Structure 1
Amino acid sequence: MIEKMNIFDVEIPILTAKEAMIRAMQYLESESVDTIELVSMDMLMKERENAQWKEQINALTMLLPENTEILKAAEIENEKLFRETEENVFLKMFMKYMQKNHKKIFLLADSEENLGKVEAVLSRHNRGIRVTGQMVISENEEQIQDAINAINGTETDCILSVLPSPFQERFITANKALLNVRVWLGGGCAFTGHLDEIKLRNRIRFFIQKKIFRYHVEQEKE
């Protein structure tokens, strides 16, 4: 039984990057659609009272913390986990595996700006990754159906999504059975770069967000 941390009733397994990567490799070779999602502090704060979202995200195959603040809030004291989370080690391993094994990725985003950020990250750090297609979509049924058709019209191994929550979780929950892929990866801020912003106002805002997050987690415990 894998130990889990519980933040606002979202259960996140406590896994090293290597342990998570072993699971991901198994997913990529299976016949079903497995779902991996990086859970951020911002997601947890925004949706902490959304029971439907909690049910949907807890039903995904594997959740991983995107921020070290989640580890701190859960009182995890494993230095290796902190370092790996801070350095996005799992994502680096995952992308290296995709590149080495000639796996194919389809990109989903909510804006051209975020799509461009994902493309820049892939180009900068993982040259040779095969992108079969890309789409910008919103919560529009016609766009969603177009995206499903586009994905299924390619030989895609993995959908890399940077859609916002709770749309991202609604999308994969509702359409998982319709998608001809092996893995869904919800990448979030690790790909759109929000955590790398260096402007002073953003650092201050993130500091305040951390304080508020820790306060609500402590209140939940009480």
Structure 2
Amino acid sequence: MKTYDILGISIKDHSVREALHLTREYLSYNSPSVVYFLTKDELLAASDSEEYRTFIEEEADVTMIATSDIFKAANVEEKGRAREIDRNLYLKGLLRLLSRERRRIYLLTQTAAHMSDLKNLLGTFESALQIAGTCETADISAAEDVTNDINTVTPYVVFAVLTGKEGVDFISTAKKFMNARVVVMLQPEMLKVREDGSVKQGFMARLSGRLFKRVAGRYR
């Protein structure tokens, strides 16, 4: 594990080997651990929010950089990690483990489009996953209803695509009552991938990248 200061946020970044080792341990725990994927948008939002920053630095058990251009924009030299990130090796390894051990998973999104994209993403990497339940809810503030639905199927892993601070607030509250072992918080920008597993970055992602690079320059 290495720690980086990006936009004034202390980021604990794990290699794929380290992150998978930790996740395997978490699968034996009785309360949920959180794996949180960080995009440029998440970091920009957290740079302006103490509560958001606290979640990243203290509440998330594992933080994973979602796209390697974050390193480049923040002037961090990590070519080995960049290759792991670009090939989505952690997510591939986790899904392979869950499929091999037939671990139940649950999918949670805020829109039908994100649910469809999430299913396609997971299916691209592993076709034999045990999806025990799904939930699409625009009103993620209804934490109790969503948590109760998750608890009816007792999944090992919840894959959640929840946007912004609202999603962070939900997980921060719901994990105290959730009967799952791991919550993997993905971001909408991660759902479209190429055949090699790398994330497709469209116009909005490139625009966000320019803003991120400009803001990151202020912290050097």
Tell me if TM exceeds 0.5.
Answer: yes
**What is the aligned-residue identity percentage?**
18
For 2:99 and 2:209, the matched residues in 1 are separated by 35
| Equivalent pair of 2:3/2:11 in contact (CA under 8 Å) | yes
| Equivalent pair of 1:36/1:60 in contact (CA under 8 Å) | yes
Instruction: Name the structure 2 match of 1:39.
Output: 38
* 1:18 Cα deviation from its structure 2 partner: 1.0
5+ residue gaps, structure 2: 194-198
Instruction: Name the structure 2 match of 1:138.
Output: 138
* 1:39 Cα deviation from its structure 2 partner: 0.3
For 1:31 and 1:54, the matched residues in 2 are separated by 26
1:120 and 1:113, CA in 2 relative to 1: closer, same or farther beyond 3 A?
same
* 1:95 Cα deviation from its structure 2 partner: 0.7
For 1:32 and 1:206, the matched residues in 2 are separated by 34
Instruction: Name the structure 2 match of 1:196.
Output: 200
| Equivalent pair of 1:118/1:191 in contact (CA under 8 Å) | no
Deviations 1:166-206 (A, max 9, x none): 12211111111100110010011465228425xxxx34x43
Deviations 1:60-97 (A, max 9, x none): 11101001122123433232101011111111001111
Structure with a larger share of its residues in helix: 1
Instruction: Name the structure 1 match of 2:117.
Output: 117
1:191 and 1:99, CA in 2 relative to 1: closer, same or farther beyond 3 A?
farther
1:29 and 1:90, CA in 2 relative to 1: closer, same or farther beyond 3 A?
same
| Equivalent pair of 1:160/1:185 in contact (CA under 8 Å) | yes
Deviations 1:106-129 (A, max 9, x none): 111010000011111222321111
* Number of residue pairs the alignment of both structures matches: 214
For 1:27 and 1:162, the matched residues in 2 are separated by 20
| Equivalent pair of 2:36/2:186 in contact (CA under 8 Å) | yes
For 1:12 and 1:25, the matched residues in 2 are separated by 21
- Deviating 4+ runs (over 4 angstroms): none
Instruction: Name the structure 2 match of 1:73.
Output: 73
Higher deviation after alignment, 71-80 or 159-168: 71-80
TM-score in terms of structure 1 length:
0.89
* 1:48 Cα deviation from its structure 2 partner: 2.1
Instruction: Name the structure 2 match of 1:52.
Output: 51
SS at match of 2:75: coil
* 1:144 Cα deviation from its structure 2 partner: 2.4
For 2:45 and 2:217, the matched residues in 1 are separated by 16
SS at match of 2:176: helix
Higher deviation after alignment, 111-120 or 131-140: 131-140
For 1:122 and 1:140, the matched residues in 2 are separated by 22
5+ residue gaps, structure 1: none
| Equivalent pair of 1:57/1:169 in contact (CA under 8 Å) | no
